Amino acid sequence: MFSSKKVIEVGNLYKTLSKEAISKRLGIDIESVSRYIRAFKKGLPPEPIKKKSIKANVLLFDIETLFGVGRFWRVWKENIAQWQIIKPVCMLSWSAKWLFEPEVFGDIMTKKETIERNDKRITQNLWHYMEKANVVIAHNGKAFDIQKINTEFLLHGLGQPAPYKVIDTCLVARKYFSFEHNTLDALAERLGVARKIKTDNSLWVQCDSGDESALAEMLTYNKQDVNVLEEVYVKLRPWIKDHPNLALFHDVTENEGKPICRTCVSPNLTEIGEYMTSVNTYDSYRCNDCGAIHRARRANTSLKKDTHILQGIS
């Protein structure tokens, strides 16, 4: 439970400081700062983060990378050959959290590791979390983050982590919606959730030189991305028709054989009608917690046996 003292402290600081400045001063994440501020404005204790009894290991993660350094003559339509690469792109930091758990953890290269571009230690640390995950959530993860970490895993001789399903919130936004922009911060703004920490490319330049204060700032930036990712995912979640079936990780006897939501494992379902295919009808349910809609696994009727009646009719 959050103390009233902390609510008042954050609220008073917000009169003169930004959320990012408060986060750095007090050492708390941006999401918590936002909730303290909302509580201060309402005169109420901050709303607790809702937890679900999800037994699958659902990992949200994000990485930051250091830019490559190379030899080139042009900057437009230029193909960089291997000999032109002076310093290849490497992983600078990573951050992650288990779904609905409060702790955001992560790692970043030290000053010495950054100057040497030695990301082996932080890669090994991330690998152990990927090994435990059943489902991984990342923004633009399939096109970038997962390919990049797989490259690092290969280079450092770590092999593949255990199999996991991937939810890419960028692809979800593109598939089901028509937002003007599908960047994580653009989605966060449109969906009215926590925002990324504002920064610019100078932070990466400072990190590349091994600036320790810049490295600390980068890790804070990276961790906030995961908080934003979680809120964006929760907003998009009910629309994901191919969402991994988290109910598979639960014993059906725990809910006395009654159906549970395959997306968020809530038993709080409402029957909303029938779903019809070309041969069967199924009961449809809406989850009253996450909003996802599912159909029953067992059909109510079968029209297949009657389809022969329609043959030959024009």
Quote the DSSP letter at residue 15: T
How far apart, in whole angstroms, are the C-alpha atoms of residue 266 and residue 276?
24
- Percent of the chain residues topping a pLDDT of 70: 88
The count of other CB atoms within 10 Å of the CB of residue 8 is 13
Type and span of the H or E element at 65: strand 58-66
Q: Which residue has the higher pLDDT, 143 or 52?
A: 143
> How confident is the model at residue 299, as a pLDDT?
87
How far apart, in whole angstroms, are the C-alpha atoms of residue 160 and residue 149?
10
Residue 314 confidence class, pLDDT cut points 50, 70, 90: very low
Q: Which residue has the higher pLDDT, 235 or 306?
A: 235
Average pLDDT estimate for 168-188: 97
Q: Are 203 and 159 in contact (CB under 8 A)?
A: no
HSE-up (13 A, CA, CB side) for residue 73: 1
For the cut 50, the answer to whether the pLDDT of residue 309 exceeds it is no
For the cut 50, the answer to whether the pLDDT of residue 143 exceeds it is yes
For the cut 80, the answer to whether the pLDDT of residue 287 exceeds it is yes
How far apart, in whole angstroms, are the C-alpha atoms of residue 298 and residue 280?
10
Q: What residues contact 122, with CB distance under 8 A and at least 6 apart?
A: 91, 93, 94, 107, 108, 109, 113
Type and span of the H or E element at 146: helix 146-155
